[in-house]
């Protein structure tokens, strides 16, 4: 993947599971960004793709599960790779992340009770997000709307 930034540090000798992922950049009328707080950190709404799922389908499903939001994908913000270790899964992952700007078109039942949605300014989100790739995507969004 040429010109795709890589965040995190690979550890020599470790095997990494490739995990296609997609994340939503959703702003409210005040311009604040939806950020999901979980016991593992703060993230943009989204996550790993299920088998044969497109990035758009992943974002739509994850936003509904994590936040109770029905969203419509508007445009791509960019792609990045995030290298992580998941203590929960006890595996190293190379997350191939697609970041997309979305708009909210409805509400649904949230199915992940340990996920809390906070609306943060872009600067607050940059300080709160756990993964570097998510901060990179927020920075790209901010530069796009200057």
Domain locations in the chain? Answer: 6-144
Blockwise average pLDDT, block size 10, the chain, 146 residues: 87 95 97 95 97 96 96 97 93 97 93 92 97 97 85
Residue 65: its pLDDT value, please? Answer: 95
In angstroms, the Cα distances linking 114 to 28, 41, 42 are 22, 11, 12
Quote the pTM value: 0.94
| Per-residue pLDDT, 26 | 98
Residue 123's CB is within 10 A of a number of other CB atoms, namely: 11
With left for phi above 0 and alpha for psi between -120 and 50, is residue 12 left, alpha or beta?
A: beta
Comparing C-alpha atoms, which of 125, 109, 131 is closest to residue 27?
Answer: 125
Q: Which CATH class is domain 6-144?
A: alpha beta
């Amino acid at each position: 993947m040429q010109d795709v930034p890589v965040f995190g540090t690979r550890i020599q000798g470790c095997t990494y599971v490739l995990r296609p992922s997609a994340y939503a950049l959703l702003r409210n009328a005040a311009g604040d960004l939806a950020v999901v707080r979980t016991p593992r950190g703060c993230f943009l709404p989204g996550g790993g793709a299920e088998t044969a799922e497109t990035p758009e389908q992943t974002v739509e499903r994850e936003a509904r599960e994590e936040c109770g939001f029905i969203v419509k994908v508007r445009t791509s913000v960019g792609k990045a790779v995030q290298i992580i270790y998941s203590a929960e899964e006890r595996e190293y992952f190379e997350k191939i992340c697609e970041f997309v700007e979305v708009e909210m078109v409805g509400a649904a039942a949230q199915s992940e009770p340990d996920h809390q949605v906070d609306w943060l300014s872009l600067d607050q989100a940059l300080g709160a997000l756990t993964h570097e790739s998510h901060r990179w995507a927020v920075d790209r969004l901010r530069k796009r709307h200057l």
